[in-house]
Amino acid sequence: AVTTLGYGTYQWQYQQTGIYDNGDSRNTPYGDSYTNGDIVACALDLDNNKIYWSKAGVWQASSDPTDGTNAVAITDPASGPKDGCYYPSVADWDDIAGGDIWEVNFGGCSSFTVSSGNADDNGYGNFEYDVPAGYYAICTKNLAEYG
């Protein structure tokens, strides 16, 4: 059995080749490929169960998180067999000696330079690219307000 991220019913991944995977819907074209040094962002709409990915500030598949255009539909985890939570993650498929290095920024990361300093509508976070209106950094202050 394959246990790769994105192969499960409640898993979604945007691969380096510009496709996304979810359960039985594998290799679905979605956008541009990405490589070392590229910045890939994810917007998760938990009110409408949708996900979006961008590369270098451009939302892929002509999607728009602010109006719901060309979203990838996701399954509400509350309807599944697990605990009703999402678990953001990144993975390395090829097992290269030494491994790949991923830097993940939920808005408060200071281990790398962000040149443009964009925050969410509440003023939280420090992102390279503009945060779509109505989307928020994952931080305790936003979680306290929005759950």
At 86-118, the pLDDT tens digits run: 777 776 666 555 566 777 888 776 666 777 889
For residue 45, give the DSSP letter: E
Least reliable range by pLDDT among 4-8, 43-47, 78-82, 92-96: 92-96
Quote the pTM value: 0.85
Q: What is the mean pLDDT of the chain?
A: 83
Predicted local confidence at residue 50, as pLDDT: 94
The pLDDT-based confidence of 67 (bands split at 50, 70, 90) is: very high
Is residue 17 over pLDDT 80? yes
Highest mean pLDDT among 6-20, 52-66, 68-82, 89-103: 52-66
Instruction: Give the span between the Cα atoms of 14 and 30, in whole angstroms.
Output: 8
Q: What is the mean pLDDT of residues 12-40?
A: 87
Backbone phi, then psi, for 24, in 5-degree steps?
-90, -5
The pLDDT > 90 percentage for the chain reads: 37
Q: What is the pLDDT of residue 103?
A: 79
Average pLDDT over residues 29-58: 92
At CB < 8 A and 24+ separation, what contacts does 55-64 make?
Answer: 55/31, 56/129, 57/128, 57/129, 57/130, 58/32, 60/14, 60/18, 60/30, 60/31, 60/32, 61/29, 61/30, 61/31, 64/132
* pLDDT (0 to 100) of residue 87: 74
